[in-house]
Structure 1
């Protein structure tokens, strides 16, 4: 029996964007629901239970941030935010409010599809994130708390390992600085981003990962970090 195609709800007031995404998503085999405003979008989310929501921040009847906040009261469906606003503040606000990813308009359809595939793989109800990563060079075993590079065991500090483990568990998705600081250092350290920069810098040195051309750890400037998998 063939599994049902994932259903993607697009909430965007721009007709051209809705048409562009409708064509692109259907070409990739997705079922698509379209809404031109917040009221339509929330109604479809409640009645059709989509597997993923693409949500524009600038809607005519309500801000996308408000829609996200209401949606998060009763659903953990993955949400990818769209916006012409590319400021770091906007991105952090969306991600900290419960968005799973953020894409700035204009965007390429292939990048968007790649982001959606990552979110669909990690949606609620799916198996837990893998306990092991191995791309032939870097191997991370979360169960054993071991990290090897080219077959050599890396000596990571507790904080370096913790950062790497959190990023791996959210592979392909951006994790905000505040989330990392809260999860690893505690709620009183959410503004101590210099701690995080130091740890990530040392982690990159041990991995031999060039920040200008990252293989594993990508910086999202002013927002957070993303573990790159599948290269």
Structure 2
């Protein structure tokens, strides 16, 4: 059976309430309260999006995220009452796609979930192959080759890179990237910055002196083709 969203949170009442709310608005959701239950659920069902708490009984959300990233590239949105910048950076560095602080507003969470689901899968098949310098993006398969070698990207990383390439040689404000890639204006600078850093480590020869993705301080980013 296919589910749009699985909530993994040891606060059972909150998880149940969130699940019921999402289902009311035609987002098919379920919830579990532990990492073990999550893995069992995903063995039996197809899940498009994960809402993952950090504090879980047994294995933490961080540990679960690392394990899942060895098997799947579905979007993982962390939901946590922990607001430390260190926690946010860790969550994004280990494979999380965004970080939502508790307490969250159900209507805002619904909007974010819908936006990610709408954009899940990345780009339209009609866009075919995008090329820039030594990069080749296959939009049908959501795959990337750098200098002929395949490079693995998370779903949102691919979507971000594809948007940058499609809009090459134009300064892209952060607000536009939030809207067009994440589908909302709620995503923070930290999430975007971490994704840009991850992309640079995967496509740049020297990530500290990028050839493709340039920072435009105070505004956003610019993707320069870099020639053939």
Range of TM-score over shorter length = 0.5 to 0.7
- Which of 176, 196, 219 aligns to 1:180? It is 196
| Equivalent residue runs for 1:1-231 within 5 Å | 6-124=3-121, 127=124, 143=166, 145=168, 156=170, 160=171, 170-172=181-183, 175-184=191-200, 186=204, 189=207, 199-202=216-219
| Structure 2 contact 2–46 (Cα < 8 Å) conserved | no
CA distance in 2, matches of 1:107, 1:93: 20
Task: Sort the Cα spacing of 1:45 and 1:181 in 2 relative to 1 into closer, same or farther, 3 A.
Answer: same
How many residues in Structure 1 have an aligned counterpart in Structure 2?
Answer: 178
Change in Cα spacing, 1:176 to 1:97, as seen in structure 2 (3 Å) is farther
Q: Within 2, Cα distance between the matches of 1:144 and 1:7?
A: 30
SS in structure 2 opposite 1:59? coil
CA distance in 2, matches of 1:90, 1:71: 18
Please identify the structure whose Cα radius of gyration is greater. Answer: 1
CA RMSD of superposed structures (Å): 3.9
Call closer, same or farther: CA 1:142–1:12 in 2, change over 3 Å.
same
CA separation in 1, counterparts of 2:19 and 2:78? 16
> TM-score when scaled to structure 1?
0.62
Could you tell me which runs of 5 or more consecutive residues in structure 2 were left unpaired when the two chains were aligned.
131-162, 222-228
